[in-house]
Amino acid sequence: MATLLITGAAGRIGTALRPRLSAAGHDLVLLDERRPDPPVGDRERFVEGNVNDRTALEAALPGVDTVVHLAGIPTEDTWEALVEVNLTGTKNLLEGAAAAGVRRVLQASSIHAVGRLPEEDAPASVPGDRLPRPDTYYGFTKAAMELLGSLFADRYDMSIVSARIGAFGERPSSRRALRMWSSPDDLARLVQATADLREPGHHVVWAVSRNTGSPADLRAGEAIGFHPVDDASAVLDADERDALPDEDMRFLGGGMTDLPLGRRTN
């Protein structure tokens, strides 16, 4: 199997993916500023640092087949912080991967790259590679990250997947998540589809599950071998679904569309 580098490996998504990717037979290199929990296990190697630390990248990338780029600020923040981490950090990661001969990268984009799209304008189907319509500075940096993926795919014959993640979690946690949930198992399936790519190119896809009633058009992901199987409605029983908290449903990005631009959230 492949050797995968996970940036931001100690974060919520990286922590959920680790056991799933290890069980699939992959060796993992874990890059983060803090030690992962649970501790590093067999067939895992930890490199302390971040994507703006070139020394750490040089230590992490040799021998890697595919990068799973999860490192970044995951919500609205100051312009300066978002650009430094989400854009400059992604540029550094892609430069390092290209220099090390790594030809496959899955990078975590977000629903917020298209978060300002009114739900009433897209009741049935939103293509995975729809043109960006960001809802925040955070969403803008995710849309710009996708452009960096396109640039490096073209310049260095890399296979890069920009994955627009929806409402990630072990279980759906809101009414919006019933439509835009990204299950850990399905994200692991997208990592595998990326690791299996052999033709260069950039692909923007929905990294969401096959949720009943979802506006996410999954065909862009299916074209590269990503076939999600989980359904948020099937994970919860009727009483659990009825008890889910309400959420702003005017835009794909939910309540984040009303956050003051550039104001850090907790």
- Residue ranges and CATH numbers for the domains of the chain are 3-258 (3.40.50.720)
Q: Over 60: is that where the pLDDT of 254 sits?
A: yes
**pLDDT, tens only, 149-189:** 999 999 999 999 999 999 999 999 988 889 999 999 999 99
Question: Which pLDDT score, from 0 to 100, does residue 124 have?
Answer: 63
Cα 23 to chain centroid, rounded: 20
Q: Which of 95-104, 211-220, 238-247 has the lowest mean pLDDT?
A: 238-247
Q: Over 90: is that where the pLDDT of 197 sits?
A: yes
Residue 265 pLDDT level (bands cut at 50, 70, 90): confident
Token pair for residue 144? 């710009």
CA–CA dist 123, 213 (Å, integer): 9
Residue 121 pLDDT level (bands cut at 50, 70, 90): low
Q: Over 80: is that where the pLDDT of 141 sits?
A: yes
Nearest alpha carbon to residue 43 among 3, 96, 70, 80: 3
- State the burial class of residue 45 (Cβ atoms within 10 Å of its Cβ: 0-12, 13-18, 19+): middle
Residue 119 pLDDT level (bands cut at 50, 70, 90): confident
Token pair for residue 13? 């998504």
Residue 214 pLDDT level (bands cut at 50, 70, 90): very high
CA–CA dist 51, 221 (Å, integer): 26
Q: With 0.85 as the threshold, say if the pTM is over it.
A: yes
Nearest alpha carbon to residue 164 among 124, 131, 208, 202: 208
**pLDDT, tens only, 60-103:** 999 999 999 999 999 999 999 999 999 999 999 999 999 999 99
Token pair for residue 41? 């296990």
